[in-house]
Amino acid sequence: MSTAVVWFRRDLRVHDHPPLVTALNEHDEVVPVFVLDDRLVHGRFASANRTQYLLDCLEALDGELRERGSRLVVRHGKFEEELPKVVEETGAECVYAAGDASAYARARDERVAQTVDLRLGPGNFIARLGDLKTKGGTPFKVYSPFRREWTEQPRRAVHDAPAEIPTPSRVQSDGIPSVTALGFDEPPTLIDRPEPGEAAALKALDDWAPHAKQYGNTRNVLSEPTSRMSQYLHFGCLSPLKLEQRTREATTYRGELAWRDFYAYVLLYGPVQRPEPRWDADAELLKAWEEGRTGYPVVDAGMRQLVACGWLHNRARMIVASFLTKDLHIDWREGERFFMHHLIDGDMGSNNGGWQWVAGTGTDPQDYTRVFNPSLQQKRFDPDGEYVRRWVPELDTPDYPEPIVDHAQERERAIADYREART
């Protein structure tokens, strides 16, 4: 009997899972494994919200595997120690996994590959990122030419979920722990939290796909629902290629999927570092921003939605990011950190890339002279006040604070600071 391990990471599904398909085609038995490594769980961007969602997605994946005669083997320990143990216990020949882009992921895979036969394939992204280069053979540094090449690149086939996954019983699983067992406090009960797991992701796709063409008309309206696919893409409960396939004619929405690949591509090849202004370190202003009491209703609404939902509308993400960096002059990394603490869809590439785009730093940044006016943003994207009223119910009462800064003055300072940094 030939046995292989399939190492699940950010691809918690059984449909369109290339490493799983390859393993089933080339081996008699497959051992699905997920490793909870404390260096990742409690790493730089530890989050009780996101960890709880991960654990719920693992439960859902285990259910999908059991329906196919298999189960998820969960091990708690270091990647480079637990995977060799599983290989030894099962007599597996190799380990299959979907390649990832971040420096952390690549270093992790290099460590594991020193002890097992690790075979990496596609699955986490739509494009084959390593094949996308300029005509001169260098990595793209700007989104628009990347998008053109990304659009033209041929796609691999989308795989159906296997009907059966033969799995040996001769391997022990530590089981899926509680979030508190992993050392977190019990996370808050989030509002509007999407159902975790693959079945929920596929249902959400069915519900969203008929409306995707309208995304270009409604994506910036703060009170309008969006696709809410980001958490499913982050944890891989939904194949990004399957999502693109189902929404291929929705040009604007497809562009958002290209941005996701682009920010992963930037992690793969390293961002361009641009000069940054001198940031202020005002703890009180930062706290006011985090708590949604800046005196600018649309900013406060966005920050309160983030904390209450573990998710934030994309237009609101840009508004609050601009306010932090260009009205309060606080380092965008403080915003990146706060977002990653709360977001269930917190993706290192997309979050880092989005913050740098607004802050005017890094690869393909937003023009630094463009500073979002929160009052005009509210009039344009929440004209009826529905969004603001939901999250700032004390508006127009004595309990609501006065603006903590004057936007017009801070805008002028921001432009001057950026100009000085780049001369």
259 is catalytic: yes
Catalytic residue among 81, 89, 279, 373: 279
What is the number of other CB atoms lying within 10 angstroms of the CB of residue 303? Answer: 26
256 is catalytic: yes
Q: Which of 12, 63, 55 is nearest to 36 (CA)?
A: 55
- Burial status of residue 1 (CB atoms within 10 A of its CB: 0-12, 13-18, 19 or more): exposed
Residues in CB range of 235: below 8 A, 6 or more apart: 10, 12, 53, 54, 57, 196
The sign of the CA dihedral 296, 320, 205, 258 is: positive
Q: Which of 225, 366, 238, 236 is nearest to 305 (CA)?
A: 225
Catalytic residue among 29, 198, 256, 276: 256
Catalytic residue among 259, 289, 311, 391: 259
The CA distance from 173 to 89, in Å, is 11
314 is catalytic: yes
Phi, psi torsion values for 96, nearest 5 degrees? -105, 145
Catalytic residue among 93, 220, 224, 314: 314
Helix runs in 292-406, H state only: 297-309, 314-322, 332-342, 348-359, 374-381, 386-391
Q: Which of 147, 126, 373 is nearest to 252 (CA)?
A: 147
150 is catalytic: no
357 is catalytic: no
Catalytic residue among 332, 336, 357, 391: 332
**What single-letter DSSP state applies at residue 176?**
P
- With residue 104 as reference, give the H or E element that holds it: helix 103-113
Instruction: Return the active site residues.
Output: 256, 259, 279, 314, 332, 355
